[in-house]
């Protein structure tokens, strides 16, 4: 299904948008349709999904960023969806360790 503004006459003008949109996961497509095709506000989106208003804003933002990344041909990290779904917000690069473990990992080369 193509949005009304992407009629056949202008399809080539929007081909990259069409391709990027359809490469998104279904939930991200749905949230973008709700926001920009059905004109739901964030409160309606939060009610639709049963989430808070802040989470609704984050879902829309993440879907827009994912689509923008695809349009700009930047690398999309597919591991984002691996463990807890496409809305996972956990840190991907840091690990909490105790001071003793940090000293062992750095051969005691820090602090006194």
Q: Kindly report the number of other CB atoms within 10 A of residue 74's CB atom.
A: 10
Domain boundaries, the chain: 8-81
In angstroms, what CA-CA distances link 62 with 8, 13, 97? 29, 24, 29
Q: Is the pLDDT of residue 63 over 90?
A: yes
**Region 43-71 average pLDDT:** 93
> Has domain 8-81 been given CATH number 1.20.1250.20?
no
Q: Please tell me the distance from the alpha carbon of residue 32 to that of residue 3, in angstroms, as a whole number.
A: 11
Contact 24, 31 (CB under 8 A): no
- Name residue, tokens 């006459």: 9
Using the predicted structure, report yes or no on whether residue 65 has a pLDDT greater than 60: yes
Report pTM. Answer: 0.58
Token pair belonging to 32: 């973008």
Per-residue confidence band for 74, with pLDDT thresholds at 50, 70 and 90:
low
Of residues 17 and 53, the one with the higher pLDDT is 53
């Amino acid at each position: 299904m193509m949005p009304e503004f992407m009629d056949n006459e202008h399809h080539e003008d929007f081909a990259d948008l069409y391709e990027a949109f359809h490469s998104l996961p279904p939930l991200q497509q749905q949230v973008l349709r709700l926001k920009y095709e059905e004109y739901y506000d964030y409160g309606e989106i939060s009610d639709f999904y049963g989430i808070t208003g802040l989470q609704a804003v984050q879902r829309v933002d993440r879907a827009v960023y994912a689509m923008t990344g695809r349009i700009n041909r930047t690398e999309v990290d597919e591991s984002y969806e691996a463990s807890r779904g496409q809305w996972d917000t956990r840190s991907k690069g840091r690990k909490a360790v105790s001071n003793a473990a940090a000293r062992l990992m750095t051969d005691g080369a820090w602090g006194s």
